[in-house]
A and B are shown apart, each in its own frame.
Chain A
Amino acid sequence: MKRRDLIVGAVALAASAAVAPAFAQEWKPTQPLELVVHGGPGSGNDVMARQLTTIIEQEKLSPVRVQVSNRVGGGSTTAAAYMASKKGDPNTIAVFTIVWVTDPLTQEAATNGLNTLTPITRLIEEPALIVVKADAPYKTLKDFVDAAKSKSGQLKQSGGSITSRDNILRQLIMKQTGANWVFVPFPGGGERIAAILGGHTDIMITDPSEAGEQVRAGKLKVLAQVGKERLDTFKDIPTLKEAGFDFQDIPQTRGIVGPPGMPPEAVKYYETFFEKLRQSAGWKKFLADNQLLGVNEKSEASKKFLITYEDMLRVVLKDAGAKVVR
Chain B
Amino acid sequence: MDIANGMLHGFYVALQPMNLWWCFFGCFLGTVVGILPGLGPAATISLLLPLTFKMDAAGGIIMMAGIYYGAKYGGSTTSILLNIPGESSSVATCIDGYQMAKKGRAGAALGIAAIASFIAGTVGVVLLTLMAPPIAAFALSFSSPEYFALMVLGLALVVLLAGTSLVKGLLALLVGLWLTAIGVDIFSAQARFIFGQPTLLGGIDFTIVAIGVFAMGEVLSSLDAGEETKMLPVPKGLRNLLPTWQDMKDCRFAFLNGSIVGFIIGVLPGAGGTIASFISYGLEKAVSKHPEKFGTGVIEGVAAPEGANNADTGGALIPLLTLGIPGGSSTAILLSALIIWGVHPGPLMMTESPDVFWGLVASMYIGNIMLLVLNLPMVPVFAQILRMPVYVLFPFIFGISIVGVYGTTGRMFDLGLLAGFGFLGYMMGKLKFPTAPLILGFVLGDSMERALRQSMMMYGGDFTAMFHRPISAVMLGLAGIVLVMPLISYFNRLRVKAITEGA
Q: Of all chain A residues, which has the CB nearest B342?
A: A289
Bound complex: CA of A72 vs CA of B203, how far in Å?
11
Interface residues of A in 156-182 (CB under 8 A from B): 156, 160-163, 182
Do B140 and A197 have beta carbons less than 8 Å apart?
yes
Number of A-B contacts (CB under 8 A): 185
Chain B residues lying within 8 Å of A217, measured Cβ to Cβ, are 346-348
Bound complex: CA of A44 vs CA of B144, how far in Å?
24
Cβ of A9 within 8 Å of any chain B Cβ, yes or no, is no
Chain B residues lying within 8 Å of A43, measured Cβ to Cβ, are 329
Do B325 and A194 have beta carbons less than 8 Å apart?
yes
Cβ of B124 within 8 Å of any chain A Cβ, yes or no, is no
Chain B residues lying within 8 Å of A40, measured Cβ to Cβ, are 42-43, 408-409
Say whether, besides A107-B191, A197-B140, A74 and B47 are in contact (CB < 8 Å).
Answer: no
Q: Which of A70, A72, A109, A185 contacts B197 (CB 8 A)?
A: A109
Cβ of A21 within 8 Å of any chain B Cβ, yes or no, is no
Cβ of B49 within 8 Å of any chain A Cβ, yes or no, is yes
Do B46 and A50 have beta carbons less than 8 Å apart?
yes
Do A75 and B202 have beta carbons less than 8 Å apart?
yes
Cβ of B199 within 8 Å of any chain A Cβ, yes or no, is yes
12 pairs of residues in contact across A and B, judged by CB atoms under 8 Å: A41-B42, A42-B46, A73-B411, A75-B202, A108-B196, A185-B186, A186-B270, A190-B269, A190-B319, A193-B323, A197-B140, A289-B340
Bound complex: CA of A314 vs CA of B143, how far in Å?
33
Cβ of B257 within 8 Å of any chain A Cβ, yes or no, is no
Cβ of A137 within 8 Å of any chain B Cβ, yes or no, is no
Q: Of all chain B residues, which has the CB nearest A194?
A: B269
Cβ of A252 within 8 Å of any chain B Cβ, yes or no, is no
Interface centre among B141, B269, B342, by most chain A C-beta atoms within 10 angstroms, is B269
Do B188 and A321 have beta carbons less than 8 Å apart?
yes
Q: Of all chain A residues, which has the CB nearest B48?
A: A50
Do A110 and B198 have beta carbons less than 8 Å apart?
yes
Say whether, besides A40-B43, A74-B199, A200-B144, A187 and B186 are in contact (CB < 8 Å).
Answer: yes
Cβ of A77 within 8 Å of any chain B Cβ, yes or no, is yes
Cβ of A32 within 8 Å of any chain B Cβ, yes or no, is no
Cβ of B420 within 8 Å of any chain A Cβ, yes or no, is no
Cβ of B187 within 8 Å of any chain A Cβ, yes or no, is yes
Do B186 and A162 have beta carbons less than 8 Å apart?
yes
Bound complex: CA of A43 vs CA of B45, how far in Å?
11
Bound complex: CA of A130 vs CA of B84, how far in Å?
45
Chain A residues lying within 8 Å of B330, measured Cβ to Cβ, are 42
Do B269 and A188 have beta carbons less than 8 Å apart?
yes
Bound complex: CA of A212 vs CA of B339, how far in Å?
12
Interface centre among A81, A194, A216, by most chain B C-beta atoms within 10 angstroms, is A194
Bound complex: CA of A216 vs CA of B349, how far in Å?
11
Do B347 and A323 have beta carbons less than 8 Å apart?
no
Chain B residues lying within 8 Å of A103, measured Cβ to Cβ, are 201
- Bitwise, B156-189 to A at CB < 8 A (1) or not (0) is 0000000000000000000000000001101111
Cβ of A280 within 8 Å of any chain B Cβ, yes or no, is no
Interface residues of A in 39-85 (CB under 8 A from B): 40-44, 46-47, 50-51, 53-54, 57, 70-75, 77-78, 81
- Bitwise, A210-237 to B at CB < 8 A (1) or not (0) is 0011101101000000000000000000
Q: Of all chain B residues, which has the CB nearest A48?
A: B336
Bound complex: CA of A154 vs CA of B457, how far in Å?
10
Say whether, besides A78-B199, A81-B198, A214-B324, A200 and B143 are in contact (CB < 8 Å).
Answer: yes
Q: Of all chain A residues, which has the CB nearest B47?
A: A41
Bound complex: CA of A107 vs CA of B198, how far in Å?
9
Chain A residues lying within 8 Å of B339, measured Cβ to Cβ, are 209, 289-290
Tell me, rounded to whole Å, the shortest Cβ–Cβ distance linking A135 to chain B.
Answer: 14
Cβ of B454 within 8 Å of any chain A Cβ, yes or no, is yes
Bound complex: CA of A77 vs CA of B142, how far in Å?
34
Interface residues of A in 271-326 (CB under 8 A from B): 289-290, 317, 321-323
Cβ of A244 within 8 Å of any chain B Cβ, yes or no, is no
Interface residues of A in 12-58 (CB under 8 A from B): 40-44, 46-47, 50-51, 53-54, 57
Do A51 and B458 have beta carbons less than 8 Å apart?
no
Tell me, rounded to whole Å, the shortest Cβ–Cβ distance linking B269 to chain A.
Answer: 4
Binding site for B on A (CB under 8 A): 40-44, 46-47, 50-51, 53-54, 57, 70-75, 77-78, 81, 102-103, 106-111, 153-154, 156, 160-163, 182-191, 193-195, 197-201, 209, 212-214, 216-217, 219, 289-290, 317, 321-323
6 closest A-B pairs by beta carbon, nearest first, are A74-B201, A213-B346, A217-B347, A198-B140, A41-B43, A42-B42
Do B457 and A184 have beta carbons less than 8 Å apart?
yes
Cβ of B502 within 8 Å of any chain A Cβ, yes or no, is no
Do B53 and A42 have beta carbons less than 8 Å apart?
no
Cβ of B327 within 8 Å of any chain A Cβ, yes or no, is yes
Do B143 and A322 have beta carbons less than 8 Å apart?
no
A-B contacts besides A109-B191, A184-B458, A190-B319, 7 pairs, CB < 8 Å: A46-B46, A57-B50, A107-B201, A154-B460, A185-B454, A197-B325, A322-B188
Do A71 and B319 have beta carbons less than 8 Å apart?
no
Do B347 and A194 have beta carbons less than 8 Å apart?
no
Do B141 and A198 have beta carbons less than 8 Å apart?
yes
Cβ of B428 within 8 Å of any chain A Cβ, yes or no, is no
Binding site for A on B (CB under 8 A): 42-47, 49-50, 53, 139-144, 183-184, 186-191, 194, 196-202, 269-270, 319, 323-333, 336, 339-340, 342, 344-348, 408-411, 450, 454, 457-458, 460
Bound complex: CA of A321 vs CA of B189, how far in Å?
9
Chain B residues lying within 8 Å of A197, measured Cβ to Cβ, are 140, 323, 325
Do B347 and A162 have beta carbons less than 8 Å apart?
no
Tell me, rounded to whole Å, the shortest Cβ–Cβ distance linking A277 to chain B.
Answer: 16
Q: Of all chain A residues, which has the CB nearest B339?
A: A289
Bound complex: CA of A73 vs CA of B328, how far in Å?
19
Tell me, rounded to whole Å, the shortest Cβ–Cβ distance linking B134 to chain A.
Answer: 14
Q: Of all chain A residues, which has the CB nearest B42?
A: A42
Bound complex: CA of A217 vs CA of B53, how far in Å?
26
Tell me, rounded to whole Å, the shortest Cβ–Cβ distance linking A283 to chain B.
Answer: 14
Interface centre among B270, B325, B333, B342, by most chain A C-beta atoms within 10 angstroms, is B325
Chain B residues lying within 8 Å of A111, measured Cβ to Cβ, are 198
Do A50 and B269 have beta carbons less than 8 Å apart?
no
Chain A residues lying within 8 Å of B319, measured Cβ to Cβ, are 190, 194
Q: Which of A182, A213, A290 contacts B458 (CB 8 A)?
A: A182
Q: Which of B44, B202, B348, B454 contacts A186 (CB 8 A)?
A: B454
Do A216 and B346 have beta carbons less than 8 Å apart?
yes
Chain B residues lying within 8 Å of A74, measured Cβ to Cβ, are 183-184, 198-202
Do A108 and B191 have beta carbons less than 8 Å apart?
yes
Do A323 and B190 have beta carbons less than 8 Å apart?
yes
Bound complex: CA of A219 vs CA of B186, how far in Å?
28
Q: Which of B190, B331, B344, B410 contacts A70 (CB 8 A)?
A: B410
Do B325 and A193 have beta carbons less than 8 Å apart?
yes
Tell me, rounded to whole Å, the shortest Cβ–Cβ distance linking B444 to chain A.
Answer: 15
Do B50 and A77 have beta carbons less than 8 Å apart?
no
Tell me, rounded to whole Å, the shortest Cβ–Cβ distance linking B412 to chain A.
Answer: 12
Bound complex: CA of A212 vs CA of B345, how far in Å?
10
Do B194 and A72 have beta carbons less than 8 Å apart?
no
Bound complex: CA of A191 vs CA of B326, how far in Å?
8
Bound complex: CA of A213 vs CA of B201, how far in Å?
34
Chain A residues lying within 8 Å of B199, measured Cβ to Cβ, are 73-74, 77-78
Do B202 and A216 have beta carbons less than 8 Å apart?
no
Tell me, rounded to whole Å, the shortest Cβ–Cβ distance linking B410 to chain A.
Answer: 7
Tell me, rounded to whole Å, the shortest Cβ–Cβ distance linking A106 to chain B.
Answer: 5
Do B457 and A323 have beta carbons less than 8 Å apart?
no
Do A153 and B460 have beta carbons less than 8 Å apart?
yes
Chain A residues lying within 8 Å of B53, measured Cβ to Cβ, are 54
Q: Which of A75, A201, A290, A322 contacts B201 (CB 8 A)?
A: A75
